Amino acid sequence: MDIKSLCLGALSIGDASGYEIKKMFEEGPFSHFYDAGYGSIYPALNKLLEDDLVTCTEIEQESRPAKKVYSLTDAGLTYLKADLNQKPARDKTRSESIVMMFFGHLLSSSHREEILHSYIDYFRDGCTCLDDLDLSNQPNGRLFVRGLGLAVYEAAAKYLEENKDLLLSDDEERDFGDAA
Amino acid sequence: MDIKSLCLGALSIGDASGYEIKKMFEEGPFSHFYDAGYGSIYPALNKLLEDDLVTCTEIEQESRPAKKVYSLTDAGLTYLKADLNQKPARDKTRSESIVMMFFGHLLSSSHREEILHSYIDYFRDGCTCLDDLDLSNQPNGRLFVRGLGLAVYEAAAKYLEENKDLLLSDDEERDFGDAA
DNA sequence: TGACTATATATCAAAACGATATATATCAAC
DNA sequence: GTTGATATATATCGTTTTGATATATAGTCA
């Protein structure tokens, strides 16, 4: 599974432009479990078009630049279903905020505090974002996944707030027997 | 912040070989918030060596292949601290399991069930892994971060188990007005 | 002896990232 | 009225990262 498959998935919900697909990753239903930028999405859509897994129509708009709207073909849906029924790869995560908290004793106390509060805000905003999704009359999988995201974000925000003193109390210069 | 910084961070805990650093990402204290494979770690260590941010000693071992043990230099620690005090990038996640659950209505019910149970096991194993870490007499940041990982993994496992019926009940062929 | 697992390092094509460029249009400010 | 900011929209490209593969030593188990 790669960005191409995710684009097919996005188009299985409905026709969309690259810009609109990006928004699904940024603030839409994919935001809490997959990331992709323009640099991945546009090339992916072009490859899908080459392989006839999607079609493309250029649409002129009033008071906005023209956009290219992509649609899933039958072959695209078949490909997507096959890919979705494979064995999933392990989750990949990369959190620089957590890295910084892990090495909190190497941070200035003001930076440590800043990181922590920004991270709490990040989870709170994530909850709002998921709450705002309109999932009425949609497949249960989408509701289920939104619920999972909310549960995880809420648990993270709760932990961070309830235990913030543990992080903030970290000494800057105590000796832990590390090389540092 | 990139893999080079993470390697410096790993070495700030103590001298280590590339293989040992990999284990920190795989089953060690980094496992729940950062990923890196050999293909990133070995080139990173070579670049760090070139820039004199680490030193390297080849160690012969009995009944095992020789290993290259890397140590942080003063310049390396300075670089690490500077990097750690920058603004963190947004979290990046990529979960194929959640993608599959999101598009659960396009999956065979047996695959849907398989995905769900494997994912519950994944979080349960993650909890065990974090529980097994020996963090005695270590900086509070490391305890704090382990606690965060546990809180998140437990919340995820709990949600998945308590709501599994919602996912499993997803119809395969209902019409949701999607392209699919 | 052969198969498997664990330790250990290395490489490389393919994929993805992320920063930048370009263009149109609205809105607010000065 | 024009500067600056924001939103929509597409595209490119050097750098980084991935993930699969190769290579080698050594212990274990059948």
Domain boundary among B35, B62, B84: B84
Nearest CA in chain A to B13: A178
Do A103 and A79 lie in one domain? The reply is: no
Reported as a single tens digit per residue, the pLDDT across A3-31 is: 999 999 999 999 999 999 999 999 999 99
DSSP B94-117: E-HHHHHHHTGGGS-HHHHHHHHH
CA B78 to chain centroid? 25
Residue A89 lies in a domain: no
pLDDT of A73 strictly over 90:
yes
Residue B31 lies in a domain: yes
Q: Whole-angstrom Cα distance, residue A121 to residue A34?
A: 20
B16 and B66 housed in the same domain: yes
Tell me, yes or no, whether A49 lies in a domain.
yes
**Domains held by chain A: number:** 2
Q: B87 — phi, psi (to 5°)?
A: -75, 130
Six token digits for residue A117: 């509060």
Cα A116 to the center of its chain, rounded Å: 20
Sequence-ordered list of residues with C-beta below 8 angstroms from that of B148, at least 6 positions apart, any chain? A98, A101, A156, A159, A160, A163
Residue B62, pLDDT score: 83
CA of A46 to C1' of C19 (A): 21
> Per-residue confidence of chain B (180 residues) as pLDDT tens digits?
999 999 999 999 999 999 999 999 999 999 999 999 999 999 999 999 999 999 999 998 888 888 999 999 999 999 999 999 999 999 999 999 999 999 999 999 999 999 999 999 999 999 999 999 999 889 999 999 999 999 999 999 999 999 999 999 876 655 555 655
Query: Do both A7 and A54 map to the same domain?
Result: yes
CB contact under 8 A, B141 and A105: yes
Mean pLDDT score of chain A: 93
User: Which CATH number belongs to the domain containing residue A16 in this structure?
Assistant: 1.10.10.10
> Is B100 in the same domain as B124?
yes
Task: Give the model's pLDDT for residue B123.
Answer: 96
Instruction: Give the model's pLDDT for residue A174.
Output: 56
Whether the Cβ atoms of residue B21 and residue B5 lie closer than 8 Å to each other: no
- Please report whether residue B173 resides in a domain: no
- Cα–Cα distance between B27 and B14 in angstroms, integer? 17
Q: Does some domain include residue B178?
A: no
Residues A77 and A9 both lie in one domain: yes
pLDDT of residue B176: 58
Count each helix (H run) and each strand (E run) in chain B, helices first: 7, 3
A134-172 pLDDT, tens digit each: 998 899 999 999 999 999 999 999 999 999 999 998 765
Q: How many CB atoms lie within 10 A of CB B33?
A: 21
Q: What is the pLDDT of residue A85?
A: 95
Cα(A16)–Cα(A20) distance, integer angstroms: 6
Task: State the sign of the Cα–Cα–Cα–Cα dihedral A96, A101, A105, A110.
Answer: positive
pLDDT for A49: 96
Out of A53, A84, A115, a domain closes at: A84
pLDDT band at A71 (very low <50, low <70, confident <90, very high): very high
Torsion of CA A77, A78, A84, A87, to 10 degrees: -160
Q: How would you class A11 by CB atoms within 10 Å of its CB: exposed for 0-12, middle for 13-18, buried for 19 or more?
A: buried
* C-alpha torsion sign, points A111, A117, A123, A127: negative
Indicate whether A64 and A105 sit together in one domain.
no
Sorted by sequence, the CB contacts under 8 Å of residue B27 that are 6+ apart come out as B129
Q: Quick check: B106 and A81 CB within 8 A?
A: yes
Q: Report yes or no: A45 at the B interface, CB cutoff 8 Å.
A: no
| B91 is a domain residue | no
> Do B8 and B77 belong to one domain?
yes
Same domain flag for B101 and B66: no
Does B88 sit within 8 Å of A97, measured CB to CB?
yes
Q: Does a structural domain hold residue A91?
A: no
Per-residue confidence (pLDDT) for residue B80, from 0 to 100: 97
Instruction: For chain B, give the longest Cα–Cα distance.
Output: 65
B100 and B79 co-located in one domain: no
In this prediction, residue B178 carries a pLDDT of: 62
- Cα–Cα distance measured from residue B135 to residue A102, given in angstroms and rounded to the nearest whole number: 12
Using the 3D structure, point to which of B24, B56, B84 is the last residue of a domain. B84
Residues whose CB falls within 8 Å of the CB of residue A42, separated by 6 or more in sequence, listed in order:
A18
What pLDDT does residue A176 have? 57
Query: Does pLDDT of A173 surpass 70?
Result: no
Mutation site, B20, B144, B169, interface A, largest A CB count within 10 A: B144
Look at A176 and B55; give whichever has higher pLDDT: B55
Tokens of B95: 């979960």
Least confident of A40-49, A60-69, B152-161: A60-69
A77 and A103 belong to one structural domain: no
Q: Is residue A66 part of a domain?
A: yes
The band of A179, judged by pLDDT with boundaries at 50, 70 and 90, is: low
Q: What is the pLDDT of residue A97?
A: 97
**% of chain A surpassing 70 pLDDT:** 94
Residue of A nearest to B37 (CA): A92
Reply yes or no on whether the pLDDT at A180 is more than 60.
no
Report how far apart, in Å, the C-alpha atoms of B94 and of each of A36, B14, B31, B87 are: 9, 30, 14, 22
pLDDT at site A63: 81
ipTM: 0.93
Q: Judge if A52 and A103 occupy the same domain.
A: no
* Structural domain boundaries enclosing B102: 96-168
Say yes or no: A133 and A155 in one domain.
Answer: yes
Which DSSP category does A66 fall into? E
Tokens of A127: 């909850």
Cα–Cα distance measured from residue A140 to residue A148, given in angstroms and rounded to the nearest whole number: 12
- CB burial of A26-36 (b: ≥16 within 10 Å; e: otherwise) equals eebbbbbbbbb
